[in-house]
Structure 1
Amino acid sequence: MEQRSGQKRAGDSLYPPIEPFDRRIVDVGDGHTLYVEQCGNPHGAPVIVLHGGPGGGCSPMMRRFFDPAHYRVILFDQRGCGRSQPRASVAANTTWHLVADIERIRADLGVDQALIFGGSWGATLALIYAITHPDRVTGLALRGVFLGTRGEIDWFYGGGAGRFYPLNWAHFARAVPEEERDDMIAAYHRRLFPGDHPDADRLARIWTGWENALASAHHDGGVSEAPLDYARVFARLENHYFHNRCFLDRDDWILHHRARIEHLPAIIVQGRMDMICPPASATRLAEGWTGADLRIVPLAGHALSEPGIGSALIRSLDFWRDTGKFG
């Protein structure tokens, strides 16, 4: 079968780099402005991309998972992140503000319905948005599922993942007094907020470095610290969200409300060796959801940049392009 221009076969690399055809700043109120960009085909099938964190940001690589001849790719930096302002602000910054922001961007761009693409925290937000606005979603493409539960947060910040990366965990834990290590999120929170603590910058880099070290299944376990400017944003926002249990009023909020989206198709791509968001959550999400296709990628970790993760996502998105379903 002849390959269409710009089309990728399974196992090929990402689509070539592409520049946005539209960049804008959207004032969403509460003192926040969001950076928004659009790439690909202005008249194509809309897909809204939700980045991870909380506290990350969209990157040029995220544009490259979509056939630019077919998709209208919408990316934005969530409140306080990336090129959105004010950076690192946690004022009026909750899950429900972000859901409202997605709706605002969708409406401003004249999009009726969209495929929602997100990984890690982006998968959490994609699910919450879809549950809240199921009529605005055509499908879900998820990676590295995080359901926002206490068990998941405790796994990563309570020593579970640390059993596999003991040197990295020791570095992370030693940053706070021993008597406070029974609740690492609270201990870091006391030092990251309001922001004038003498150790705030050092701990922001350690917090971010702990997550970065475990993102890839191929990491050598070395201890490193993130660039300060990025770490200040990422650590504050992620800690703020996890300290507040992702602003959900019950621990199993997503699974409790999953019936609202069970009519939608979903592809769930999950690394078998994901230490940040272990496969148990993706499995729980997919179990009993007829339209969900769970794909476990062997020898792959959490990061979007893992080759097996990227190939599975591109293959599924291309199949969606051609058939209107995941396969």
Structure 2
Amino acid sequence: MKIAYQSGYLPVSGGHEVYWERHGREGEQPVFFLHGGPGGCSSHDHLAFFDLEHFDIVLFDQRGGGRSRPHGERQNNDTARVVEDIEALRQHFDFAQISLLGVSWGSWLALQYARWATSRVNRMVLASLFVPCPQHVATYHQALTRYLHTQESTSFEQLCLDLGRPCQALAQRAAMAWARAGLRLNRQYLDPVALERFIDAAALRAIAVELHYHQAGYFFTEQDQALPLSTPCQVIQGIDDPIGLASLRWLRQRIPLSCRLLRAGHDTFSPVLLNAIRQSLMPIQGTQ
């Protein structure tokens, strides 16, 4: 287990506290890691993306997720507020500029922050893209409801009701169905026994946050359709990731970017994607 050289909680708006850790070497190029989700969390496994000798790495759990408090809180929890939290952390550490590594949902947060605070971003590396425009969300929702109906014998509406019920067994069964659907649609696999161990009370709260975002269309706005950006951006994308490829096509129409397409799915821990992410971060070294 890697030990953070600093860690703590940062009070932010709406009664939330964001948990953060710093790893690597103080004084080197600061890089913020933006994890997937919504409702997810960072972990020390994510440090595998970095050369710890050459970066000052900030891991943090987005509001409502991981060790951030209160866990699972959906009140005052939306995309704009998470973007504000990134800026609050940058100011807390007194970084003039930061670089961003965003994976999956975190790739969208990186884009949002770079648009909001352009002068504060050195560059971005985005992997396994997720752009929650209405068309993508509708396509995903249709596939999700079809899977739930044919494979889980339930509906999206019923699943949402069951997740909110006080009966732990019923809520856990609904959470298992939701998790299996997400894995299937992202072409990922998790051993059923491991998945069952994963679905505990904390996972139920995390799924509630994810559903909160999903039902709100991930808080995508009309202004997001344009997404004017000039920040240097490199994309690492698997070709066996339909949502990621659709997101890449959307993004290419709006901003300049370089892209590596690789034979992989959505899982950024797959060796081919992980190695590509590490390589893509290397040019940042020595940049202050």
**Would the aligned equivalents of 1:155 and 1:161 in 2 still touch at CA under 8 Å?**
no
Task: Tell me how far apart the structure 2 counterparts of residues 120 and 288 of structure 1 sit (CA, whole Å).
Answer: 18
Cα 1:220–1:104 shift into 2, 3 Å: closer
Identity %: 28
**Would the aligned equivalents of 1:208 and 1:234 in 2 still touch at CA under 8 Å?**
no
Q: CA deviation at 1:157?
A: 2.6
After alignment, is 97-106 or 229-238 more displaced?
229-238
Task: Tell me how far apart the structure 2 counterparts of residues 49 and 196 of structure 1 sit (CA, whole Å).
Answer: 35
Cα 1:160–1:245 shift into 2, 3 Å: closer
Q: CA deviation at 1:212?
A: 3.0
Q: CA deviation at 1:59?
A: 0.9
**Would the aligned equivalents of 2:104 and 2:128 in 1 still touch at CA under 8 Å?**
yes
Q: What does residue 175 of structure 1 align with?
A: 154
Q: What does residue 172 of structure 2 align with?
A: 201
Question: Which one of 267, 278, 286 corresponds to residue 252 of structure 2?
Answer: 286
After alignment, is 263-272 or 27-36 more displaced?
27-36
The aligned amino acid for 1:91 is: Q
Structure number with the higher helix fraction is 2
Q: What does residue 249 of structure 1 align with?
A: 221
Cα 1:82–1:104 shift into 2, 3 Å: same
Q: CA deviation at 1:33?
A: 1.3
Pairing of 1:110-125 with structure 2 (within 5 A) = 110-125=94-109
**Would the aligned equivalents of 1:189 and 1:240 in 2 still touch at CA under 8 Å?**
no
Question: Which one of 263, 272, 288 corresponds to residue 239 of structure 2?
Answer: 272
Q: What does residue 272 of structure 2 align with?
A: 308
Q: CA deviation at 1:124?
A: 0.9
Question: Is residue 19 of structure 2 the alignment partner of residue 35 of structure 1?
Answer: yes
Q: How many residues align?
A: 284
Q: CA deviation at 1:215?
A: 4.3
The aligned amino acid for 1:82 is: G
Pairing of 1:97-108 with structure 2 (within 5 A) = 97-108=81-92
Task: Tell me how far apart the structure 2 counterparts of residues 221 and 109 of structure 1 sit (CA, whole Å).
Answer: 40
Task: Tell me how far apart the structure 1 counterparts of residues 81 and 166 of structure 2 sit (CA, whole Å).
Answer: 26
The aligned amino acid for 2:281 is: L
Deviations 1:173-201 (A, max 9, x none): x233xxxxxxx3x55434434x5477333
Question: Which one of 205, 208, 215 corresponds to residue 236 of structure 1?
Answer: 208
Question: Which one of 296, 300, 308 corresponds to residue 261 of structure 2?
Answer: 296
Q: What does residue 151 of structure 1 align with?
A: 135
Task: Tell me how far apart the structure 1 counterparts of residues 143 and 150 of structure 2 sit (CA, whole Å).
Answer: 10
Q: What does residue 282 of structure 2 align with?
A: 318
Q: CA deviation at 1:220?
A: 8.6
Cα 1:39–1:220 shift into 2, 3 Å: closer
Give 5+ residue unaligned stretches, structure 1: 1-16, 177-183
**Would the aligned equivalents of 2:127 and 2:237 in 1 still touch at CA under 8 Å?**
yes
TM-score normalized by structure 1?
Answer: 0.79
Give 5+ residue unaligned stretches, structure 2: none
Question: Which one of 68, 72, 85 corresponds to residue 84 of structure 1?
Answer: 68
